[in-house]
Amino acid sequence: MEMIEKGLLEEMGLELNLKPWATDGGAHFWEVPKTAFRSVYDDQPNAHKKFMEKLDACIRNHDKEIEKMCNFHHQGFVDAITELLKVRTDAEKLKVQVTDTNRRFQDAGKEVIVQTEDIIRCRIQQRNITTVVEKLQLCLPVLEMYSKLKEQMSAKRYYSALKTMEQLENVYFPRVSQYRFCQLMIENLPKLREDIKEISMSDLKDFLESIRKHSDKIGETAMKQAQQQKLFSVILQKQNNVKFGKTVYINDRIPEERNEIVLKPVFEEEDENEEEVLTVQDLVDFSPVYQCLHIYSVLGDEETFENYYRKQRKKQARLVLQPQSNMHETVDGYRRYFTQIVGFFVVEDHILHVTQGLVTRAYTDELWNMALSKIIAVLRAHSSYCTDPDLVLELKNLIVIFADTLQGYGFPVNRLFDLLFEIRDQYNETLLKKWAGVFRDIFEEDNYSPIPIVNEEEYKTVISKFPFQDPDLEKQSFPKKLPMSQSVPHIYIQVKEFIYASLKFSESLHRSSTEIDDMLRKSTNLLLTRTLSSCLLNLIKKPHIGLTELVQIIINTTHLEQACKYLEDFITNITNISQETVHTTRLYGLSTFKDARHAAEGEIYTKLNQKIDEFVQLADYDWTMSEPDGRASGYLMDLINFLRSIFQVFTHLPGKVAQTACMSACQHLSTSLMQMLLDSELKQISMGAVQQFNLDVIQCELFANSEPVPGFQGDTLQLAFIDLRQLLDLFMVWDWSTYLADYGQPASKYLRVNPNTALTLLEKVHRGIKDTSKKNNIFAQFRKNDRDKQKLIETVVKQLRSLVNGMSQHT
């Protein structure tokens, strides 16, 4: 586009649609398109020349107009120049003044410029400070929270630190995420979480190790509290019984001291009144568990924590349930075992109630059932080694407190009380063994003689120990003797002590009085029928126990048998269960002491016969003597005197026993004498020896006829020697014809003489007569008599042999 004056274009004959471009001193210029100039050259021939001519003409016209205008304004221009010349001097002055003013202004403005620059700089700084403050105000909460996070980490407040991390991530970091320090913080948070996780897990491990070490103290405290609660309940019940007039124990020694056998503390305490009651929270800091649980919950890994905790606790449970090999040797071993288990489950119960889901009731029940099976197996195995009843009793008390403690925490303990019934049987066995030794000691120390009583005080002392009643003896003056020996009151006291000891175990088993009564009676029956009976039988069989001691033993068993009813009353007073109750077990003392008495009676018969044998062995007959001595043999007289003294002792025995012993002794003596005559080693007997033997038998008959033991009817005792008498009479009167003629007849004079026995003795006498005849063959008159007698004897021998053979064939 070109710029050209419009009038010039019109003069050149160009009619164009022109747009104004600019103005200059009143002249208007228009925008001419380039196509317009192109048309000037292209439309007509010589158009360029014509255009140039017109353009020159136009320029001349404009020059004339310019000249006219300059002429018109020339005077004004001259005037203006003149005016300018006039003001030139003033202008120079003004210039000087302005220059001076400018200089002064410049000098004065330098300080202003400096101050202005300072102000500008300050405002820039102020603006920057404002910007910084705004940014810092935005960042400061983040930094404060992060600083708080560091403080919480340092203070080991990890749960709070995790909550702070959540706030940083959700609230604060988005505001300043464009800053590099924020990115560093964001990158550091996962590491901090892992650190917290590891630290909390380490704290948990320390906690688990701590409670493993302190579980016995926790359990001991819990068992003490359970025991104190039980003592308080028992005391309260006792006060109520006193208030309402109830008496649990009536007998002389039971009320206070015997009640303490159950209430005796299992755990000794220094000062019950001053000791502060501790809880499991006082003994254990559970914060590591809570903190670790919360941390893992916040981290979304709660299941991992629960599995780890339960796995570790199960391992600890197995360790706790593993007993020491020598646990059964002392009660401390059992106590430590129980306290550790109680401590373990007290902790688990606390965790169950103060945390949500870490452990569940199903988990604790499963753990308890597993532990209970192991505990029962361990106690069953180790208690079997216990031979001391006191240790078994302490074990029972520990089990009761153990069961009561865990029952208070909601754990089922019925199987433990079932186990106690097994241990009760073992306890009874140990008691029986212990009392067997006690009874043996009593029997060893007994002098087996009636108890001498010097005065009333001694009499009351014995009566207070043993329920003896004898109106006739009470009427006698002092000194006097009680029929039993010292062992009787001692045994009676020890039986009562056994009942006390058995009662110790029966208490606190949560059983009814009827069941306790049945337990006491059964254990007492075992003591009487097995232990005491065995001790009595062993005592009776001992070689050093003589006839006097056996007599005293029979008297003792009689009084002990009579005392059994007082033992039943004693048990009744303890349990308040009447003996008339249908299911009440009776004491078997009657049969026990009766059996012992029968054994003693049999031993008396045996020993008496042995003593008779000893005397008989002293017999020194001269079976070849021609004439008797005219008096009984010395051994036989000593034997009879011995029997008389023994039967005097038997006066304290029941009449039947003394009579049986006397009859047995006479029969045994008769049999021994008969065997002496029929001894196969004795080949011949002279008539003088037969006559001497007859004198001895006569003394035996006189002894039997003297009634050494009262109560025999007629000549019953003499019948013990009837076989000997008839046999000797047959030889003394030589009445063989009557014997052979009346043999087999009920009214025979020699009914008790056996043909075989008569034949044996006759043959020995025959040989004796032959031997005597040989010695006396110097006297002719004797030879004929002897020959006649020998012929008679030979005839009788033949007849007896025929009779014996006939009997054999008949048989």
pLDDT of 356 higher than 60: yes
Which pLDDT band holds residue 270 (cuts at 50, 70, 90)? very low
- Tokens 């990890």 appear where? 158
Residue 505, C-beta contacts closer than 8 angstroms, at least 6 positions apart: 392, 393, 396, 424, 427, 428
Cα radius of gyration (the chain): 69
CA distance 593 to 609: 24
CA distance 83 to 87: 6
Task: Please give the C-alpha separations between residue 480 and each of 463, 491, 550, 682, in angstroms, as whole numbers.
Answer: 14, 22, 22, 54
Backbone phi and psi for residue 741, each to the nearest 5 degrees, phi listed first: -75, -40
**Per-residue model confidence as pLDDT tens digits over 692-705:** 999 999 999 999 88
CA distance 138 to 174: 11
| Mean pLDDT of the 37-64 span | 78
- Cβ atoms of 295 and 197 within 8 Å: the answer is yes
CA distance 483 to 481: 6
Which pLDDT band holds residue 19 (cuts at 50, 70, 90)? low
| Mean pLDDT of the 168-183 span | 87
Q: What is the pLDDT of residue 35?
A: 64
Q: How many CA atoms lie within 13 A of 354 on its CB side?
A: 15
Residue 66 has which token pair? 């310019």
Q: What is the pLDDT of residue 259?
A: 42
Q: Which helix (H) or strand (E) holds 470?
A: none
Lowest mean pLDDT among 49-53, 655-659, 717-721: 655-659
Residue 17 three-state SS: coil
pLDDT of 811 higher than 60: no
pTM, two decimals, is 0.67
pLDDT of 149 higher than 80: yes
pLDDT of 252 higher than 50: no
CA distance 676 to 621: 10
Q: What is the pLDDT of residue 273?
A: 43
**Per-residue model confidence as pLDDT tens digits over 520-549:** 888 888 888 888 888 888 888 888 888 888
**Per-residue model confidence as pLDDT tens digits over 180-235:** 888 888 888 889 888 888 888 888 888 888 888 888 888 888 888 888 887 777 67
| Mean pLDDT of the 111-126 span | 88
